[in-house]
C-alpha cells in the first residue's frame, strides 16, 4: 500500500528535528520578574512583577548585592566585559544607582558599584540575572535609592530590549547601632565594638557623638574602623586600660552619622563589665587628661605622638579575631570587595 505524502512529510520533519544539535533559545524580550536585595548572601525581595508576591516595604541599608532577575538569557556582552577570560564591569553599565542628594552628600571614598551578569538559573528554571555589587557594601540609611535600567543594555541574545520598568526605587531602613551589652566580663584592654546597620563613617565623624564613662567619670578612648567589616567600629581605651572590675558605659548621641551622613534618630546606650586582674591597681582607667605614660599593650614602651596611642590594642575578650586598622583615620578601606563575580557564568 503506498504511503501518503502527509505521512512522508511528518517523517521528514521528525528526522530533521532529531538531527538538530540543541534547541534554539526562544525569541522575545527578557521579562524582569523581581529584584532581590542581598545582605551577606541573604536575599529580600524588594520588587516583583507579580502583584501577589510578598515584597518587603524596606530594604536593609547594608545591601551587598542587588539581583535583577529575568525570565530568559540576556546578551551578557551588553552587561559586562570580558578581560583575560574573566568578567569585568563596563564603564557605562546598563544599571546605575542614585539617590536625591548623592552629588552633595557622599561617603569617603564615594559610593561605587559594578554590574555583572549571571546566566545560571539561580532564581528558577530558565532565569538569569544582572546584578549590582557595591565596591564597599552599604547604601545610605532611610533613603529612596533609585536604580535606572537601560533596555538597550538588558536585551535577549537576539537584541530584543527588556520588558519591565526602567526605574525602580527602593526605600532603605533607618540607621541603627548595636553596642555591647550583657554581664559577661571582658579584659581591661577590650576593644568594644559598635555595629552599624550600614557602612560606618570615618572615626573623625564619630568622636563627638560617642561618650565613654565608668562610675560617672569620663574615660579617654579612641576609635578604629574594622579593616574587614565596613559596618563596624571599635572603641579602644586610650593611653591605659579600662578600669578593672567596673561597668563601662557607652552612649551614642542622636545625630551620629552613617557612612553617607544619615543621622541616628535617637540616642543609643550600651555597657560592658571588666574583669578584676590581681596584678593591676584598682584604678587602671583613664579620665580626660590623666592617661598613664604607658599604653596597655606596649609592654613598657612610651606613648607615641598624640593620635597614635592605642593603635596596637589586640582584639580579644569576646570580639572576633579580625584585625583593626592601626591608622585610626583609615576608615574606608574596610570591607572593599574586589569587584569580581566569583562563580558567575558570563555566557
Q: pLDDT band at 343, cuts 50/70/90?
A: very low
For 91-106, write each residue's pLDDT tens digit.
999 999 999 999 888 7
Q: What is the mean pLDDT of residues 301-311?
A: 38
Per the CB < 8 A criterion, the answer to whether 147 and 168 are in contact is yes
| CATH architecture under which domain 174-335 falls | Sandwich (2.60)
Helix, strand, coil percentages in the chain from 3-state DSSP, rounded to 5: 5, 30, 60
Query: Residue 105: its pLDDT value, please?
Result: 83
Residue 191 has pLDDT above 90, yes or no: yes
Residue 24 has pLDDT above 70, yes or no: yes
Q: In this prediction, what percent of the chain has a pLDDT beyond 90?
A: 68
Q: Which of 178, 148, 140, 136 is nearest to 269 (CA)?
A: 178
Please give the Cα distance from 211 to 180 (Å, whole number). 14
Please give the Cα distance from 216 to 312 (Å, whole number). 27
Q: In this prediction, what percent of the chain has a pLDDT beyond 70?
A: 73
Q: pLDDT band at 280, cuts 50/70/90?
A: low
Torsion of CA 8, 13, 16, 22, to 10 degrees: -160
Quick one: 130 exposed, middle or buried, by C-beta within 10 A (0-12, 13-18, 19+)?
A: buried
Q: What is the mean pLDDT of residues 138-146?
A: 98
Q: What is the mean pLDDT of residues 239-262?
A: 95
For 31-77, write each residue's pLDDT tens digit.
999 999 999 999 999 999 999 999 999 999 999 999 999 999 999 99
Please give the Cα distance from 299 to 283 (Å, whole number). 19
Residue 341 has pLDDT above 50, yes or no: no
Amino acid at each position: 500500500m503506498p504511503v501518503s505524502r502527509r505521512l512522508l512529510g511528518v517523517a521528514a520533519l521528525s528526522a530533521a528535528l532529531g538531527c538538530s544539535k540543541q534547541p534554539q533559545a526562544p525569541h522575545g524580550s527578557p521579562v524582569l520578574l523581581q529584584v532581590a536585595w542581598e545582605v551577606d548572601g541573604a536575599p529580600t525581595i524588594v520588587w516583583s512583577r507579580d502583584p501577589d508576591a510578598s515584597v518587603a516595604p524596606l530594604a536593609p541599608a547594608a545591601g551587598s548585592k542587588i539581583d535583577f532577575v529575568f525570565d530568559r538569557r540576556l546578551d551578557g556582552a551588553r552587561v559586562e566585559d570580558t578581560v583575560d577570560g574573566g568578567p569585568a564591569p563596563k564603564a557605562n553599565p546598563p544599571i546605575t544607582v542614585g539617590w536625591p542628594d548623592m552629588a552633595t552628600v557622599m561617603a569617603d571614598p564615594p559610593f561605587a558599584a559594578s554590574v555583572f551578569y549571571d546566566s545560571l538559573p539561580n532564581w528558577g528554571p530558565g532565569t538569569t540575572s544582572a546584578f549590582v555589587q557595591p565596591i564597599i557594601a552599604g547604601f545610605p540609611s532611610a533613603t529612596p535609592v533609585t536604580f535606572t535600567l537601560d533596555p538597550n543594555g538588558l536585551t535577549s541574545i537576539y537584541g530584543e530590549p527588556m520588558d519591565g520598568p526602567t526605574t525602580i526605587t527602593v526605600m532603605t531602613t533607618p540607621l541603627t547601632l548595636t553596642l555591647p551589652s550583657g554581664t559577661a566580663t571582658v579584659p581591661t584592654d577590650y576593644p568594644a565594638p559598635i555595629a552599624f546597620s550600614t557602612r560606618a563613617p570615618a572615626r573623625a565623624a564619630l568622636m563627638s557623638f560617642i561618650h565613654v564613662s565608668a562610675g560617672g567619670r569620663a574615660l579617654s578612648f579612641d576609635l578604629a574602623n574594622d579593616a574587614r567589616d565596613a559596618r563596624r567600629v571599635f572603641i579602644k581605651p586610650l593611653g591605659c586600660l579600662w578600669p578593672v572590675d567596673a561597668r563601662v558605659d557607652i552612649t551614642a548621641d542622636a545625630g551620629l552619622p552613617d557612612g553617607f551622613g544619615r543621622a541616628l534618630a535617637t540616642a543609643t546606650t550600651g555597657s560592658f563589665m571588666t574583669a578584676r586582674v590581681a596584678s593591676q591597681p584598682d584604678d587602671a582607667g583613664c579620665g580626660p587628661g590623666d592617661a598613664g605614660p604607658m599604653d596597655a599593650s606596649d609592654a613598657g614602651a612610651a606613648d607615641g605622638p598624640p593620635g597614635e596611642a592605642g593603635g596596637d590594642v589586640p582584639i580579644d575578650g569576646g570580639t572576633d579575631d579580625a584585625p583593626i586598622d592601626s591608622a585610626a583615620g583609615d576608615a574606608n578601606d574596610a570591607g572593599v570587595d574586589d569587584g569580581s563575580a566569583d562563580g558567575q557564568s558570563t555566557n
